[in-house]
Structure 1
């Protein structure tokens, strides 16, 4: 057995490490006032003569004990400070070791460049390039992380090759303009000889000030490297880009959005800044002047892609197609001006325009019969393969265009916004025997259900002794269509098209591969997700037979 003193001593051990701290020995007892001390503290009476010696001795011992405790506290504070310092040093070392062992250090420079490029999407790709001479934005901030990132960023010219210069973001103070000019010069130097994407926007009415005096000469000095050029400015500001004429040897795409403010400016002379651009192939027009085609001398015979996002008449588009003899892709937003709605029937004079090279036509049109019919009545498109548009109340414009052009459509994308969609689709399908892909979508989320059940029934069973409709169809897309078909129609259509066959190689682009018997086999069907929930077992059976069925938007 341990003696009593030893038992008291070990009773103060730490239960985790067994340490007995100083100041916690067995002789320590809590101080409790006795009755005599309580009595003396409650009155002002002096101590008795016999008590003075005892209490003076207790006071001396208490003072000595207080001194010991204060010294112990000071020692513990110093020890705690030392431990805190050691903890901070351990945290720093731990962070350093984590940083040294970070996977980003093992990332090759090529992968790091791809990450930089993904974070600096260009205006030409996603139309989201921000004000480029802001040193707190991309790609400037990538060169301010560490020495390695700066070295990789400065040696990667591609992330510096996209410029968006918006004059309204540059303050009018002299210091801010000098800073913007310096940043632009630095970005041009870092882009080196890489091809450039340039977007310049001037909200002013063409009155060039200090901003243009400092920035425009720097931009024009790089014109030989421009690959994509977007110009948004006033008519009067176009003349200040005249020096680039003849130096656009790398230019491939332009986007023009030219504003006017008075009638007198319609007579401004034609600009020839794009007259000599040997690589120019794509032109895009935004809002602004309606006669923008005649405002610039453009080498139309070499243009292959034309996009119009403004509200221009059909005569404007016909003028483009008449000049662009090698065009292959056309995307137009509208042929109808707002003030023309409800007016007299719209007619166009002149001869029919034949464009044999046009293969893709995507038109988002307002469905006014006279304006719609007028433009398509003047076209012959024998090479048309892809047509994307809204179906008018009557499909006569498209039917006459296909019959007149003798074209073999292979892809048809229809925006349904008319209650007579089934009847008009059936009429249209009778003249598109070579159609392989059909996509029907609703006109916005707020449009009501589109009745296409009769059209789907027509694809299953020939009507009035006719041949099967769309005998070459291999892809049907109804995913973005707000519809309410009968339960068995789509399933019956899929089932009936799984056993069809086509004589010849249907994957080839040779139009001589004609369908002689039966129908082609469906290979891909895209349906709303609600249809997957309602008919999961049937769709799984079709999938097991090799049909690719997609029911989710990716």
Structure 2
């Protein structure tokens, strides 16, 4: 193209000699001849200017064409073209997993999600997506917000079932309207219930009973089960009886039940002795202890109560959980916390290998100290989250007797803790005297429930490795729940 530019650009028009000197001087009035020559030269210049502008426009258009051609040909040498199909399939798998687990609950069904979207990019991607069976082993059904006839969801579910071959299935079923109407998409998935390995049920109790009846006795491959159900009709989760009792491979369970007045209900029967991870609700400490006696292999445990405790016979035997690493005991509503003399679940358990302990309204400072001593878990305990009524005298022995603690959260509900309280000063003094000669570092979060100023900015103190921050939040992080999400298998 460069060779053509001299031909396209004519020589610059030279002004007539008789008027050239007039452009550099204001002296003298031009004659009629000089005026005519000047007008003719201006016309010539304007004509060439139009030609050059047209040439510029053509050049810009050509430049745009060249840029498009460059981008198109770059795709030939793009790394994505050189990826083996196996690696491309793995990328698709990661994207599908993220879409399946993290999409909002109101997101439209599988027709608009990965992996279906991969089949619309190009022939290569469609071939890889359709040929990668694990992509199609994750089935999500929102039974309350789909029009099966209009969206063809039942046909799409059947396609997923066919494309996944004989692989274990990850099934997510949600229905918020508590209607027992038949859904062809659900009926299609039930025909493959023997392949269900990871199941998430977010349904009302009536529909849960309906689902349980359809799948009873066929859960031979089930490993992880999550059930979140609200009993609005007073049926009770116990009515499910042995619906999930026969699940020989079940090891991870999340089962939370609430009644219409938001009171936690008892869970139904499970093969508790198989479980290694459990998140559930209990109506009483006695009920919880009955279940804990069966959890011989439990590693991670989170339990939630509707009340803070009740009297339990002190003669009752302790329950030892030898493999337990994570324990969280939480009160559903801190405003129902009783500060009177109660028997806490922690008083009747021991966990010698415990690494994380989270207590929210379900044990006082003395119970925690006695539990640590009884369990002998001080050398292994790395994290302690404690929310209760805090007093200076009773709270300080806890961190003092945990030499390997790496994370401490102390939350106060109506006690003596405050940013300017004696607890902070004493804790700082203690840490300074104990660890001044060591490299130990301990992040500490102090939560003050009496602070109501929404504009409060957390204060932070750093003294000899003791990092103290203040917050308004009353609730501890759910370690077990995050672990469940982390361990969800694709």
Residue 383 of structure 2: aligned partner? 412
Residues 360 and 300 of structure 1, relative CA distance in 2, 3 Å threshold: same
Contact in 2 for aligned 1:373/1:397 (Cα 8 Å): no
Q: How much does 1:322 deviate? A: 1.5
Residues 121 and 404 of structure 1, relative CA distance in 2, 3 Å threshold: same
Q: How much does 1:369 deviate? A: 4.0
Contact in 2 for aligned 1:245/1:272 (Cα 8 Å): yes
Residue 455 of structure 1: aligned partner? 427
Residue 148 of structure 1: aligned partner? 124
Deviation digits for residues 110-145 of structure 1, max 9, x if unmatched?
665555445434488557576573423333223223
Deviation digits for residues 164-195 of structure 1, max 9, x if unmatched?
21111123xx7237x11111112223333443
Q: Which moved more, 1:266-275 or 1:397-406?
A: 266-275
Q: How much does 1:306 deviate? A: 0.8
How far, CA to CA, are the matches of 1:395 and 1:129 in structure 2? 39
Q: How much does 1:91 deviate? A: 4.8
Q: How much does 1:151 deviate? A: 2.7
Matched, 1:314 2:274: no
How far, CA to CA, are the matches of 2:40 and 2:115 in structure 1? 69
Residues 357 and 475 of structure 1, relative CA distance in 2, 3 Å threshold: same
Residue 352 of structure 1: aligned partner? 318
Residue 383 of structure 1: aligned partner? 353
Q: How much does 1:265 deviate? A: 5.5
Deviation digits for residues 42-80 of structure 1, max 9, x if unmatched?
xxxxxxxxxxxxxxxxxxxxxxxxxxxxxxxxxxxxxx9
Contact in 1 for aligned 2:197/2:222 (Cα 8 Å): yes
Contiguous gaps of at least 5 residues in structure 1 = 22-79, 462-467, 495-524, 530-554
How far, CA to CA, are the matches of 1:94 and 1:415 in structure 2? 62
Query: Map of 1:34-73 to 2, 5 A cutoff?
Result: none
Q: How much does 1:442 deviate? A: 5.4
Contact in 2 for aligned 1:206/1:235 (Cα 8 Å): no
Residue 444 of structure 2: aligned partner? 478
TM-score (norm 2): 0.69
SS of residue matched to 2:257: coil
Residue 45 of structure 2: aligned partner? 14
SS of residue matched to 1:251: coil
Deviation digits for residues 288-329 of structure 1, max 9, x if unmatched?
365553x23x22111011113x57433343232122111111
Contiguous gaps of at least 5 residues in structure 2 = 1-15, 19-32, 449-457, 471-490
Matched, 1:361 2:327: yes
Matched, 1:329 2:300: yes
Q: Which moved more, 1:449-458 or 1:103-112?
A: 103-112
Contact in 2 for aligned 1:348/1:375 (Cα 8 Å): no
How far, CA to CA, are the matches of 1:153 and 1:372 in structure 2? 58
How far, CA to CA, are the matches of 1:253 and 1:233 in structure 2? 17
How far, CA to CA, are the matches of 1:372 and 1:103 in structure 2? 73
How far, CA to CA, are the matches of 2:98 and 2:49 in structure 1? 67
Matched, 1:106 2:75: no
Deviation digits for residues 453-484 of structure 1, max 9, x if unmatched?
211211222xxxxxx48999944113686875
Contact in 2 for aligned 1:430/1:469 (Cα 8 Å): no
Contact in 1 for aligned 2:221/2:247 (Cα 8 Å): no
SS of residue matched to 2:153: helix
SS of residue matched to 2:312: coil
Residues 473 and 360 of structure 1, relative CA distance in 2, 3 Å threshold: farther
SS of residue matched to 2:144: helix
Residue 160 of structure 2: aligned partner? 187
Contact in 2 for aligned 1:282/1:303 (Cα 8 Å): yes
Deviation digits for residues 5-34 of structure 1, max 9, x if unmatched?
77654332336957789xxxxxxxxxxxxx
Contact in 1 for aligned 2:257/2:266 (Cα 8 Å): no
Matched, 1:200 2:173: yes
How far, CA to CA, are the matches of 1:175 and 1:398 in structure 2? 57
How far, CA to CA, are the matches of 2:284 and 2:393 in structure 1? 29
TM-score (norm 1): 0.61
Question: Which of residues 125, 134, 141 in structure 2 aligns to 1:158?
Answer: 134
SS of residue matched to 1:100: helix
Question: Which of residues 113, 133, 137 in structure 2 aligns to 1:137?
Answer: 113
Question: Which of residues 208, 224, 243 in structure 2 aligns to 1:253?
Answer: 224
How far, CA to CA, are the matches of 2:368 and 2:288 in structure 1? 17
Query: Map of 1:246-285 to 2, 5 A cutoff?
Result: 246-263=217-234, 268=239, 270-278=241-249, 280-285=250-255
How far, CA to CA, are the matches of 1:227 and 1:347 in structure 2? 40
RCO higher in structure (CA 8 A, sep ≥6): 2
Matched, 1:224 2:194: yes
Matched, 1:233 2:207: no
**Greater per-residue strand proportion:** 2
Residues 454 and 97 of structure 1, relative CA distance in 2, 3 Å threshold: same
Residue 29 of structure 2: aligned partner? none
How far, CA to CA, are the matches of 1:471 and 1:384 in structure 2? 28
Residue 26 of structure 2: aligned partner? none
Contact in 2 for aligned 1:351/1:378 (Cα 8 Å): yes
How far, CA to CA, are the matches of 1:104 and 1:13 in structure 2? 49
Q: How much does 1:202 deviate? A: 2.7
Contact in 2 for aligned 1:123/1:129 (Cα 8 Å): no
Residue 439 of structure 1: aligned partner? 408
Residues 355 and 265 of structure 1, relative CA distance in 2, 3 Å threshold: closer
Contact in 2 for aligned 1:168/1:202 (Cα 8 Å): yes
SS of residue matched to 1:11: helix
